A and B are shown apart, each in its own frame.
Chain A
Amino acid sequence: LGSAVVAVRGADSVVIGVERKTIAKLQDPRTIRKIVKLDATTTLAFAGLTADARVLIEKVRLECQSYRLTCEDAPSLEHIARFIATTQQRYTQRGGVRPFGVSSILAGFGSDGNPQIYQIDPSGTYFAWKANAIGGKNSKGMREFLEKEWTEDLSEPGSLKLVVKTLLEVVDSGSKNMEVAVVRKGSAMELLGEDALNAVTEQVLAEAEAEKNAASGGAEEMKD
């Protein structure tokens, strides 16, 4: 439920894509941000109730800074995932409250320099993933698509194309309905601009077209 989120782990980057639901004409699209910065080096994308996510994100951001104050070091991705999971679990076991209706995907880098993705459920469970998709009308389908298409050590352009391809499975085509961000080592996430996103989308669509048309021997690479 909520809009779709896809995340793919590459060799040295994580690419996240979210579905941007069609908005009212008069609404300013820039005020809807589903990929947020939690800490200097950690990014979160969520699917579910936006208001619940806002409250949860505030708690997590505070925890990240509190960790930096107490331990004089950046919190590890696993620590943050565990914090989110523990918080969400607490709300399933107390009286008078309801669980956070939020599924989150956390992206960042481990201390060994490798990219990592964690997914956290409203039940309070968390797992690390190589690639995952949540939310939207067919997260299961997207995940199965990823299982077929994901390979180890994707380059950044390769991961970008895979994310867009996966999103295109559930989203009406058009970069207007997607938001994509790249998380690189040591830097905050970078939201892809309109032009860059258009370029990738066009490339993906062109490749799909070419594949359909190639009757035989069309040596088509789906990924770099």
Chain B
Amino acid sequence: PSSFVIPAVNNPAEYCRQNYTVGYGTDTNQDVQFAKGTTTLAFKFNDGIIVSVDSRSTMGPYIASQTVKKVIEINPYLLGTMAGGAADCAFWERNLGMQCRMYELRNKERISVAAASKLLANTMFQYRGHGLSMGTMVTGWDKTGPQLYYVDNDATRLKGDIFSVGSGSTYAYGVLDTYYRPDLTVDEAIDLGKRAIYHATHRDAYSGGINNVYHVKETGWVKVGSWDVNDLHYLYADEKIAARNP
């Protein structure tokens, strides 16, 4: 957008990189430290897409919040997830919402997920090198069916069936990849989404809080529910005990 203000210095990109970079433990000397550390995931299956995220925000070892909304509701049929800089994600995804609405008004039809994710990726490309930190998944159901795209701050844009983004993503992938099937039932898929996030929050210090789950259907997204990951811990622990003592 032409009205985005950049620092009035000789080399704005350099200035941003030195003073506003995201870095685990390395940004402690900066004036602005980014809240980061997260686990978000989304996967496509026969009945749509499940989006499951945690809600912890950390500044170094300090837990800034346990109740962050990491799923951004761009419009009733498009969702975006948040990983990386919370402000960057929230701002640019809301900006994407504005662009999507303009598209709708001009063209009298909804924007496709491919086009929406491309708009975001192109914006990221414009600000490449300026130190933005955003790892997001743009997902929705358009006339070509359910779609899932990964977009990040260096304008990488990937189409896929399964993605997990954030410091806890490796733990989530472990569970997700083991149990994923395209023909999961809706309940099985929701359970998988919950379990994957729980395991990530259990092992990753920077993930935790509440697990929010959304389901993207043909008629738009619905919020399935919120679960405190602590409660999930004891739930699954009981299951393990029950399994050991049939």
- A interface list, Cβ under 8 A from B: 70-73, 76, 78-79, 82
Contacts and interface: CB of A to CB of B under 8 A. Distances in A.
A40 B115 CA distance: 20
A82 B103 CA distance: 13
Nearest to A111: B109
A82 B106 CA distance: 10
Contacts of B115: 70-73
A72 B122 contact: no
Given A70-B119, A70-B122, A79 B107 contact: yes
The size class of the interface chain B forms with chain A is under 10
21 contacts: A70-B115, A70-B118, A70-B119, A70-B122, A71-B111, A71-B112, A71-B114, A71-B115, A71-B118, A72-B112, A72-B114, A72-B115, A72-B118, A73-B112, A73-B114, A73-B115, A76-B107, A78-B107, A79-B106, A79-B107, A82-B106
Contacts of B107: 76, 78-79
Interface secondary structure of B, over-half rule: helix
A81 B107 CA distance: 12
Interface of A is mostly: helix
A79 B106 CA distance: 9
B135 to A, nearest CB: 21
A127 to B, nearest CB: 16
Contacts of B111: 71
Q: Which of A70, A78, A79 has the most C-beta atoms of chain B within 10 angstroms of its own C-beta?
A: A70
Given A70-B118, A70-B119, A82-B106, 18 more contacts: A70-B115, A70-B122, A71-B111, A71-B112, A71-B114, A71-B115, A71-B118, A72-B112, A72-B114, A72-B115, A72-B118, A73-B112, A73-B114, A73-B115, A76-B107, A78-B107, A79-B106, A79-B107
A169 to B, nearest CB: 37
A28 B112 CA distance: 46
A166 to B, nearest CB: 32
A78 B107 CA distance: 8
A55 B112 CA distance: 31
B235 to A, nearest CB: 42
Contacts of A78: 107
A29 B122 CA distance: 45
Nearest to B103: A71
Contacts of B122: 70
A72 B112 CA distance: 9
Nearest to A79: B107
Contacts of A79: 106-107
Contacts of A71: 111-112, 114-115, 118
B123 to A, nearest CB: 11
B159 to A, nearest CB: 10
Nearest to B143: A111
Nearest to B122: A70
Contacts of A72: 112, 114-115, 118
Q: A71, A73, A82: which has the most chain B beta carbons within 10 Å?
A: A71
Contacts of B118: 70-72
Nearest to A72: B114
